[in-house]
Amino acid sequence: MVTNPDNFQHGDYSGVPVEDNSTHAEAKMTLPTHVTRKWELFPGRNRFWCDGRIMMAPQTSVFFVTVSLICVTSTLFFYFDCPYLTIHLSPAIPAVGGFLFLFVMAALLRTSFSDPGVIPRATSHEAAYIEKQIEVPNSANSLMYRPPPRTKEVMVKGQPVKLKYCFTCKIFRPPRASHCSLCDNCVERFDHHCPWVGNCVGRRNYRYFYMFIVSLAFLCVFILTCSVTHLILITKEDKIFFEAVRESPTSIIVVIVCFFSVWSIIGLAGFHTYLVSSNQTTNEDIKGSFTSKRGQSNFNPYSQGNVCSNCCHVLCGPVPPSLIDRRALVTDMSEYQQQESGVGGMGAGEGGANQQPNTVTTNNRSYGATCPPHHESPSGNGLNAQLGCNLATTTSTENISMSPPSLHAAPISIATSSCNNPAPHMVAPIHHGAASIPLSTPSINGSDTSSIRANAGAATNEGGALYESAPLAPKMDLSDLDLDDLDEVMIGVMTSSPPPSTSSANQLSASRLRLLQDTTMIESALDLDSLEESCTSSVGAGSQAGLIRRADLMTS
């Protein structure tokens, strides 16, 4: 979609990669003090600890609730109930309890700290290649740009499976994969995002998760029965129940905690046992991917055939490798930078950036990064401006220079520095669209321009991190940064400068439409990821309809 700006420029020049040299210089500068590993440049929102060994979701507070709930309850049990039960019943009770507890914790930590099966994002080359493959060949003089289809159908064991294009990762998601909107990654064999374990549950950690659930169910039942037994044994010593509770008040706490959690845990364990035996994921089960619809027979093409082999394959089968290879050293910095610029505003990664603010490379992502949801963005204009940033990079690569250079004599440039990491030298200065509209379109009447000016003024006032600076970028004269102004800009351009030939105008509008479509697609992709399968088509159609409407508006 957004092809890499560097490439085109380098291609135009003598092939000497100017940017790359500086990149290497930076890499050399940082190398002696800090070794850059891949997790620091990871584009998703995941958090990493212990130099990338531990990988978790961005929000981990519920995970600590889980851990403390299990630990506190078990500690109370071991400290207050076990001594009595050991003496009166058997020393096997603390042994079994201890084993179960250790197993539960091991499985839980394993689930939480491992990579669920994140599919790395496409490199800019791969994204461009995919884009080229799916591009619909439309005739040169057709005004309407037809967007390429964003789904691909493949046959899996004779069963048609729809692969959806992921706008964030720039890939067609493999079968069974889904994009986790919280972690901002595509995850292989995505099951669900589990806040309790503080991670996605996917192909690589599903077995740990299942073992965790099952062993936790056992532990819960075990502790519940033991605590109840403790209370009953005290009652049997010729005491009333109230006395027993007074003698061992912690037992009743443990019993209450276990009683309320055991049902949901057993239910979950049963549900996942069913899923394992039929080799489905929670995601597929909820969507009903394999239920027969409208008389069409539908079956699970991933099933191994019978319950036993399904269980074996899911729980004991070969463990796929972690594809993001997060501990590896970064050898090819330029690739990452390209990826970053290709991904543009969609990156939204801040996990590594927050932890390692001293590295040059992590600063790199700060431009164009959308504000993570827990940060409040400085203004409503933020998103638009960032989309504009995307637009600006695209337009500069395609070299659509329309207004003469003298027209943007004194443009107001607005830099969108990300709220958590202001790095002015990295941030591409953006000329706000409205600012240069009056210059390039003298034919627009006064009221229009004044309203646009007011718009610009409001935007400048609103933006928290806006400042004026000398424009650094050479070709930023395309000024349709604010999406709301886009229509007006287009009309203005069309009316003010009579095009030398109609074909060029058509080309122009087509490329503009593509830009627009890129942005709208990106915008809708934000919603797409969280939507169910059934809704996505209508959303896509909606955005396309919007495109067509604007195209009509242009032609009129």
Partner 1 sequence: MKAEGMPNHTTPLDEINPRQGQTQLCMKVFVQRDYSDGTTVRFQTLFPSELEGKLDKGAFLYTVNQLNANFAEAEKGSCSTYCEGCLACITAYLMYICSETHYEKCLRKVAKFVAEQNERVYMPRGLLLTNPVDRGLRVIEISILDQPMVART
C-beta of 15: minimal distance to partner 1 in Å?
A: 7
State the sign of the Cα–Cα–Cα–Cα dihedral 396, 334, 482, 464: negative
Judged by CB under 8 A, the stretch of 69-77, 308-316, 459-467, 537-545 that binds partner 1 is 308-316
- Choose, by CB under 8 A, the member of 3, 227, 386, 396 that binds partner 1: 3
User: What whole-number distance in Å separates Cα of residue 324 and Cα of residue 58?
Assistant: 17
Binding of residue 102 to partner 1 (CB under 8 A): yes
Q: Single out the residue of 414, 417, 415, 325 nearest to residue 363, CA to CA.
A: 417
Kindly state whether residue 192 participates in binding partner 1, applying the rule CB under 8 A: no
Q: Which is nearer to partner 1, 122 or 528 (CB)?
A: 122
Q: Is the CB of residue 248 less than 8 Å from the CB of residue 81?
A: yes
**Residue 189, φ and ψ in degrees, nearest 5:** 45, 55
Residue from the set 56, 166, 201, 211 that interacts with partner 1 by CB under 8 A: 211
Least separation in angstroms between residue 154's CB and partner 1 is 5
The mark string for 5-24 relative to partner 1 (x by CB under 8 A, - otherwise) is --xx-xx---x-x--x----
- Is 194 annotated in the active site? yes
Q: Which of 288, 65, 312, 287 is nearest to 207 (CA)?
A: 312
Out of 247, 325, 487, 523, the only residue in the binding site for partner 1 (CB under 8 A) is 325
From the candidates 169, 180, 194, 258, give the one annotated as an active-site residue: 194
Please, are residues 279 and 314 in contact by the beta-carbon 8 Å criterion?
Answer: yes
Sign of the alpha-carbon torsion through 284, 290, 295, 296:
positive
55 burial type by CB count under 10 A (0-12 exposed, 13-18 middle, 19+ buried): buried
Q: CA-to-CA distance for 517 and 511, rounded, in angstroms?
A: 10
Interacting span for partner 1 (CB under 8 A) from 49-57, 85-93, 412-420, 430-438 = 49-57
Does 322 engage in binding with partner 1 (CB under 8 A)? yes
Question: Coil, helix or strand for 238?
Answer: coil
Restricting to residues 433-472, name those near partner 1 by CB under 8 A: none
Q: Does 308 bind partner 1 (CB under 8 A)?
A: no
CB of 491 to partner 1, least distance (A): 26
**Binding positions for partner 1, 282-301, rule CB under 8 A:** 301
Cα pseudo-dihedral 209, 213, 215, 218, rounded to 10:
180
Our CB check for partner 1 shows the closer of 50 and 240 to be 50
Residue 341 contacts by C-beta under 8 Å, 6 or more apart in sequence?
2, 4, 5, 6, 124, 393
Count the residues of the shown chain that bind partner 1, applying the rule CB under 8 A: 72
How is the chain split among helix, strand and coil, in percent rounded to 5? 55, 10, 35
The reply to whether 365 sits near partner 1 by the rule CB under 8 A is no
Site for partner 1 in 106-125 (CB under 8 A): 106-107, 109-110, 113-115, 119-120, 122-123, 125
Q: Which of residues 123-162 bind partner 1 (CB under 8 A)?
A: 123, 125-126, 128-132, 154-157, 161
Q: Which residues are catalytic?
A: 194
